[in-house]
Structure 1
Amino acid sequence: MQRLPEHLSHSSRETLERCAKQYFLTRVAKAPQQPALWLVGGSAVHEATEQYDLLAFAGLEDDFETEEVWNAFFDMELAAARDKEENENLWRKSAAEPIEVWRRMGLQFVQSYIDWRERSPWQIWTTPDGFPAIELDVSGRLPGCEVEIKAYLDRVFWDPVLKKLVIVDLKTSKRPPKNADQFGTYKALLKTKYGVDADLGVAFMNRKGTPGKPYDLAEYTPEFVGDIYGEAWEAIKEYMAAGNFPADTSDCFLCDVKAACHAKNGPLAHLYDPASPGYAIPA
């Protein structure tokens, strides 16, 4: 018998809103997910810039070898993707950005972040228990939601000019965030865990080498955000009770579990999708 997931996150709630079937296949049925080159590259950029900031926080930024570190993390992420699917022709990727382009482009993304860090007055915030706010785990529970909400903040900075905490998320995609919801989730969890308020949320757009539009996070209280996640959790429980997570096939470009989806005639649907004829409920 399939069980409810043990937690929520911003990305899982976003998936649920976009397509409940995709949420079920990824989070409940655990269907195999098709690798995406843009996720491989994005993960490597996150890891390389994290390494830089950890060294910089310790005053050792001169020891950071940008190209060497980038290539090591990119190769590691490529290997992990090949373990999932060795045929790279089946990966999701842009024709204009194959592996060799990503190798050059990703290095530029890492360098653009370093260049910004060197000229920015913002400083890595240190938590009350002495940890630098780099890939900061603020997972926890919020009022109105009975399950844990997982969240890892790319960075929290202190702006010494405006005297504000700023949550920053690195984005290697072309598009900026659609709204402030991701930052609002992080702000509420940061407040719950550490008792501090982050006034702003900003995406660092690696392709442009600069922060994007700042979002005011005043409305994102723990209660406000908790209610949103509580509603999502209730919807998940209702879908589970009904045995049906409806599919939305209006935009499946970014979906990584199409092979397991009956609505897309996926070849693996009978193994993972209850809507597929011949599907056997897992014991």
Structure 2
Amino acid sequence: MSIETQPRSVSQTEQYEKCAHRFYLQRVEKVTPRPAAWSHHGTAFHSAAEAFELSGRAMGADEVVTLFSERYSALVNKSLDKEPNTDLWLSATGTGGEDIERRYVLGQQQTGRYVEWAAANPTETYRTPDGTPAVEQYFMVELGGVRVRGFIDQLVQDADGTVRPRDWKTGSMKSKFQLETYGVAVRKLYGVEVNKADWYLAKTGRLSRPVALDKVTEEAVGERYAAMDAGVKRGDFPASPGFSCRFCDVSHACSFKQ
């Protein structure tokens, strides 16, 4: 499927809006991205949290931490096979090798803390009409005339009957647009009331403040997808060089980087 016709996502849209040339290099030219331990950290944490929630929170902390450790190690080793020189890995702090080791320990701590937090904060996961617990819940909807797809980390059933999208974050970057998309998608798919969403912040071991979604409309969210989709189909990929170039995984192939 070509980039012009494939479904869109939150990550595609935000990447295009921040730097369309990065979108072009990664998704059109297929430039091999530089690896980053932070990516594997996030993926492994999500895998562990997903398994824990799908177990009905019956898994023990040691089991969940072990799952994180194994998943993280497998992802890192796969990337090391492709790029063994850790000096070429992206890292916000220290060398790539130091970041790999640091995040192994940090991820274990954060995963264990999630289990502790869950014990003190009972949560009812929403079940879709077919009875499936909505963890890593896939969706595909049309917004602004554009097909949009993604996965929602968890849908929580609040006491008042409303449904709350929840996103698990190991990093510091949070996207309200992501939660807005989730809210609109859940309303369209399941016909339920969605008034707020939140993030579980692994850095602090607690929930964020709720993000209000009651005034977020399908039309407003769809406009951003429509604008992005139109730009891609026009072949419009302007560069936006700046501070973010430091964290761009395809900057090695970019002639505009700063």
Q: Which residue of 2 aligns with 1:259?
A: 252
Q: What SS is found at the alignment partner of 1:156?
A: strand
Q: What SS is found at the alignment partner of 1:166?
A: strand
What is the percent sequence identity of the aligned residues? 29
The question of 1:113 aligning with 2:105 is answered: no
Q: 1:233 aligns with which of 229, 233, 238?
A: 229
The answer as to whether partners of 1:185 and 1:220 remain within 8 angstroms in 2 is no
Partners of 1:165 and 1:191 in 2: CA distance: 9
Residues 1:169 and 1:62: Cα distance change in structure 2 (over 3 Å): same
The question of 1:191 aligning with 2:187 is answered: yes
Stretches of structure 1 that go unaligned for 5 or more consecutive residues are: 266-283
The answer as to whether partners of 2:9 and 2:148 remain within 8 angstroms in 1 is yes
Q: Which residue of 2 aligns with 1:34?
A: 34
1:135 Cα deviation from its structure 2 partner: 0.3
The answer as to whether partners of 1:13 and 1:229 remain within 8 angstroms in 2 is yes
Partners of 2:190 and 2:82 in 1: CA distance: 38
1:109-159 Cα deviation digits (max 9, x unpaired)? 1112111211113211111111111100012222x223x212100011112
> Across the two proteins, how many residue pairs are aligned to each other?
253
The answer as to whether partners of 2:46 and 2:168 remain within 8 angstroms in 1 is yes
Structure 1 moving runs of 4+ over 6 Å = none
Q: Which residue of 2 aligns with 1:93?
A: 91
The question of 1:205 aligning with 2:204 is answered: no
1:223 Cα deviation from its structure 2 partner: 2.8
Q: Which residue of 2 aligns with 1:274?
A: none
1:3 Cα deviation from its structure 2 partner: 5.0
1:229-262 Cα deviation digits (max 9, x unpaired)? 1121112222x1xxx5211111212211111212
How does 1:59-70 map onto structure 2 within 5 Å? 60-62=58-60, 65-70=63-68
The answer as to whether partners of 2:180 and 2:213 remain within 8 angstroms in 1 is yes
1:85 Cα deviation from its structure 2 partner: 1.8
Partners of 1:224 and 1:3 in 2: CA distance: 23
TM-score by length of 2: 0.90
Q: What SS is found at the alignment partner of 1:11?
A: helix
Q: What SS is found at the alignment partner of 1:253?
A: helix
1:53 Cα deviation from its structure 2 partner: 1.0
Residues 1:121 and 1:217: Cα distance change in structure 2 (over 3 Å): same
Residues 1:3 and 1:110: Cα distance change in structure 2 (over 3 Å): closer
Q: Which amino acid aligns with 2:18?
A: R
Q: Which amino acid aligns with 1:151?
A: G
1:35 Cα deviation from its structure 2 partner: 0.8
Stretches of structure 2 that go unaligned for 5 or more consecutive residues are: none
TM-score by length of 1: 0.83
